[in-house]
A and B are shown apart, each in its own frame.
Chain A
Amino acid sequence: MATVGIKSTAYCLNFAPELALHYGGTPSQERHAKPDSDYLKALPGQVQSYEEAAGYAPNKTYIGAMSVDELAAAPAPWLEHLGAPERYGRYGEIMPEDEFIGFMDICDVFDLIWLDKDFAARIREKLAQDPVMGESQMARLEAGHEAAEIAEAVEKHGALPLYLDGAVVGCCRRAHDTDENLAAHVMLENLACKASGVLALLHLIKNSGLTPGDIDFVVECSEEAVGDTMQRGGGNMAKAVAEIAGCGNASGFDVRGFCAGPATAVITAAGMVASGVRRNVAVLGGGSLPKLYMNSRDHVKKGLKALENCIGSFAVLLVPDDGTEPVIRLDSVGKHSVAAGAAPQAITSALTYEPLTRLGLKLTDVDKYAPELHNAEITLPAGAGNVPEANFKMIAALSVMKGQLKREEIPQFVAEHGLPGFVHTQGHIPSGVPYMGHARDAIKAGSIRRAMIIGKGSLFLGRLTNLADGASFLVEAPAQTDGSGSTAGVTRDEVRELLLDALADLAANLQKN
């Protein structure tokens, strides 16, 4: 059985309420359709401050400043019980918006981001305090431009203003005069995704105790399309991210699959490591600028804070299994085939029951399931339900159908095998992978033995197919005995049989001679 070690993980949030207000998909479309709407008037009054976002329990859980168990025990609603603000956690950080604007400039190699020179000077001091910011990154921060230059770029050349506290502190310029694929709003989306991905990779390198030069390969799995009019979506975001992080020995490529992208990318990367094609692979995803404030219309209508104010990112480092780190089992990969159908029950069966049955395991043998881990305080007011809980109920119902659970045990199954959603509605970002860091910690601490990561993607949004997709895999302790007789390594019985076979061969050969 092929296994791959999870060496380290990183999870970051980039607090970006001004980017959300001006360039989030929902407010942006509303501004074009109904610029005087009550929603747009009310939205600026219902934003979180950085301190509120950094004290919000789900955000702290995402960056590893709280454990999942601590989140589950935290008083709810979390929005009304803010804790002490934490910028840094075990996995990463919540970067304030001013620094993120400066960091986008650091990640910009075509001089598209222009910063006001006073702002650039201020931000240089702040960014230099970040423990993952190295000399090579800081050297890329521009000195800045006169305010008049930025105003001219915005007014005459299609640049988009970048705001902080309502004031213009820079702009994102278009990368081509006529190519809409390189328009300023596309470049801003891609640079935001790139910068958030770089931040996660820098934290991953720090968390793993490696140097940037140790990274062999990068697989990127966001939902942005990188390219011009001749090859829209050509990629390769992975190598662009690796360059800024100083990973000079790495190459990379992108994997796309909507929200199933991260799980698929992890499986792809694990296959490369297990086969020896790559020494190690960093799988990472930057976040989505357009999804900021995606459901804010409903949040505003209900008088709630607009919580979709952070661009999320993650990174995991996969290495050969040396028996010391929690592993991904490549024989546990779940596949949602074309013929499986689009019904939620069919998808759940294909991603959970089928791979587990193949391994001789029951649905109840998985300690924790990690499907899409959206924060219900974001989705419930928007009418999108409690997504992770719906998934846990579906898995529990499937367990009952398969005779592996009694009907009355469903609530207990959901409580024990599920976990509270704690991730921003950033599409691919919540898709199972945010639990990999917590699962790794819990397995190392011995509090769980096995977790299943599940990603599901809405392929139909691209209007080329009505299909969805999904992928899943198990994370376990290394060389684990599961109690059913099979193990992550070779069993004692198998070793005994091999020895007996070898002795029988030896005896036969001796008799021949």
Chain B
Amino acid sequence: MGKLTGKKLLLLGERDGVPGPAMAAVFANSGAEVLFSATECFV
């Protein structure tokens, strides 16, 4: 049981940093549920 088990995640990626899908992949086996994942751009 990881410490994220049962948690719900909202993932906001940044275009020139870490994109949303990359974070979702990292958390795929964490036991957490990804409710929303997107990448935004501020430039």
Q: Give chain A's interface residues, CB within 8 Å of chain B.
A: 259, 294-295, 342-344, 372, 374, 379, 382-385, 387, 390-391, 425, 427, 430, 456, 458, 460-461, 466, 468
Residues of the A chain whose Cβ atoms lie less than 8 Å from the Cβ of B17: 344, 385
Residue pair B19, A343 in contact (C-beta under 8 Å): yes
User: Are A458 and B21 within 8 A (Cβ)?
Assistant: no
How far is B22's CA from A54's CA once the two chains are assembled, in angstroms? 41
Number of A-B contacts (CB under 8 A): 52
Q: B8 within 8 Å of A by Cβ?
A: no
Chain B nearest CB: distance from A396 CB in Å? 15
The 3 closest A-B pairs by CB, nearest first: A458-B41, A384-B42, A342-B19
Q: What are 27 A-to-B residue pairs whose CB atoms are below 8 Å?
A: A259-B43, A295-B42, A342-B19, A342-B21, A344-B17, A372-B16, A372-B43, A374-B43, A379-B42, A382-B42, A384-B14, A385-B16, A385-B17, A387-B16, A387-B43, A390-B16, A391-B16, A425-B42, A427-B43, A458-B15, A458-B41, A460-B19, A460-B20, A461-B41, A466-B20, A468-B15, A468-B19
How long is the Cα–Cα vector from A360 to B10 in the complex, in angstroms? 44
**Can you list, as one digit per residue, whether each of B9-43 has a CB less than 8 Å from chain A (1) or not (0)?**
00000111111111000000000000000111111
A interface: dominant SS: loop
Chain A nearest CB, measured from B15 CB (Å):
5
Choice from A343, A384, A387, A425 contacting B22 with Cβ under 8 Å: A343
Task: Let me know if A342 and B22 touch, CB within 8 A.
Answer: yes
**Nearest A residue (CB) for B41:** A458
Residues of B within 8 A of A (CB): 14-22, 38-43
List the A side residues contacting B40 at CB < 8 Å.
461
A430 touches B43 (CB 8 A): yes
Most chain A Cβ neighbours within 10 Å, of B16, B21, B40, B43 = B43
Q: Which of A342, A379, A391 has the most CB of B within 10 A?
A: A342
Distance between A439 CB and nearest chain B CB, rounded to angstroms: 21
A295-B42, A385-B17, A460-B19 given; 4 more Cβ-contact pairs under 8 Å: A259-B43, A374-B43, A385-B16, A387-B43
B16 to A384, Cβ gap below 8 A? yes
Minimum distance in angstroms from B14 CB to a CB of chain A:
8
Are B39 and A425 touching (Cβ within 8 A)?
no
* A468 CB contacts on chain B under 8 angstroms: 15, 19, 39
With both chains docked as a complex, state the minimum distance between the C-beta of A292 and any C-beta of chain B, in angstroms: 13
